[in-house]
Structure 1
Amino acid sequence: MQIFKFLFLLLVFFVTVGAEGQTVVATKKLTIKITNIKENNKILYVGIYRAGDDFPAFDKYWRNIKVPTSGSSEIVEFEVPVGEYAVAISHDLNGNGKLDKNLFGYPKEPFGFSNNFKPKLSSPSFSDCKFTFNHANSTISIKLID
């Protein structure tokens, strides 16, 4: 009988921890309110980045979502663990799937960053736009720059 208890507890351990020793990380909902949307029926690309990701490259995010616009603001949600993040958003007005830029590298389409950071002469760094998500501050707002 003892061997069955031992085998049962061993089975519970492997199911809980996983065969590869992975642990489960608790996540909570991060809500991002995006404002200053000027055109509807276009796509917003919203990317979340962690330290070490290629921020703000609009195709090198940690997690992302594509949202069709239908008003002057949109709300998106991500499930994320506690940590430091930065958000970059682009509004694809011509439907080509990328953020178009002018000769000097400045975006020709609306964009935005967490902390409502407004770049001057170069792209922002992760530290310019980072915020700490600790479940208490579950909503951030980003105003698009056009």
Structure 2
Amino acid sequence: MKTILISLLVSFFSQFLIAQNSVEVTITGFNSNKGAALIGLYDSETNWLKQIYKGHKSEIINNRATATFEDLPDGEYAISAFHDEDNDGEFDMILGFYPSEDYASSNNAPAKFGPPKWQDAKFILKNKSKEIQNITIY
């Protein structure tokens, strides 16, 4: 009985020790409402543009898409999104290096001569913070 009580107390109080951060993303500037916006949240520089931590597919309404990511632990994060006009779930490229679909990153990080850099796109979540990202797709 004592073990069960201790386990319940540890479980209960651990919920208060884990920071529950969130990110609200609004992407504007879509050329059309065709297809969907695919939005990826990344949790490290190592995974940036390689391995999504959490993803969201959003309908585009009035050339605008939104997403919310919740229950995120403290840490560094970045967002990458693209307009999946043909709804194939893939970021289409011309000749394997030039994007044929519009894209965007958190902080409106520039993509000059290659993909946006982690250092330009990252933001920090800590202590139950709520990050609001207003991004323009291009």
Cα RMSD of the aligned pairs, angstroms, is 2.0
The alignment's TM-score, normalised by the length of structure 2, stands at: 0.83
Q: How many angstroms apart in 2 are the aligned matches of 1:103 and 1:90?
A: 18
Amino acid at match of 1:54: N
User: Rg larger in 1 or in 2?
Assistant: 1
Count of matched residue positions in the alignment of Structure 1 and Structure 2:
132
| Counterpart selection for 1:92 from 78, 84, 88 | 84
Match of 2:37 in 1: 44
The alignment's TM-score, normalised by the length of structure 1, stands at: 0.79
Q: What secondary structure does 2:7 align onto?
A: helix
Q: How many angstroms apart in 1 are the aligned matches of 2:7 and 2:61?
A: 46
Q: How many angstroms apart in 2 are the aligned matches of 1:64 and 1:16?
A: 33
Q: What secondary structure does 2:56 align onto?
A: strand
Amino acid at match of 1:40: N
Q: What secondary structure does 1:138 align onto?
A: strand
Q: How many angstroms apart in 1 are the aligned matches of 2:97 and 2:27?
A: 23
Q: Residue 133 of structure 1: CA displacement?
A: 2.2
Write the mapping of 1:99-138 to structure 2, written as runs, cut at 5 A.
99-103=91-95, 105-134=97-126, 135-138=128-131
Which blocks of at least 5 consecutive residues in structure 2 are unaligned? none
Q: Residue 96 of structure 1: CA displacement?
A: 1.5
Matched, 1:66 2:54: no
